[in-house]
Amino acid sequence: MHAFTHIRIHAARTAELAAEAAEWHLAHKSAPTAPTAPALRDRLGEVLVAAGIRLMQPAHVHARIHQRTT
C-alpha cells in the first residue's frame, strides 16, 4: 500500500513538473501580447487540477468509472 501511494505521489509530482516546464516553454516561446497565452495557461491549470483530483481518488473509484465508460 505504501509503495502504491509513493508511486502515485511521484507520478503526480512528475506530471506537475512537466506541466510547469511546458507552461514556461510556451510563455517564453510565444509573444508577450499573444491572446492565446492566458487561455493556454487556464486550460493547463484545469488539466492539472483534474489530474490531481483523479490521483487523490481511491483506485476502486477509477475502476467503476472505467467500467461505465467502456
Nearest to 50 by CA among 15, 5, 9: 15
The answer to whether the pTM exceeds 0.85 is: no
End-to-end alpha carbon distance in the chain: 27
Nearest to 16 by CA among 38, 37, 47: 47
Quick one: pLDDT band at residue 50, thresholds 50, 70, 90? confident
Write the pLDDT tens digit of every residue in 17-46: 888 888 888 877 765 555 667 888 888 889
The C-alpha angle 8, 13, 19, rounded to 5 degrees, equals 125
Amino acid identity, position 38: P
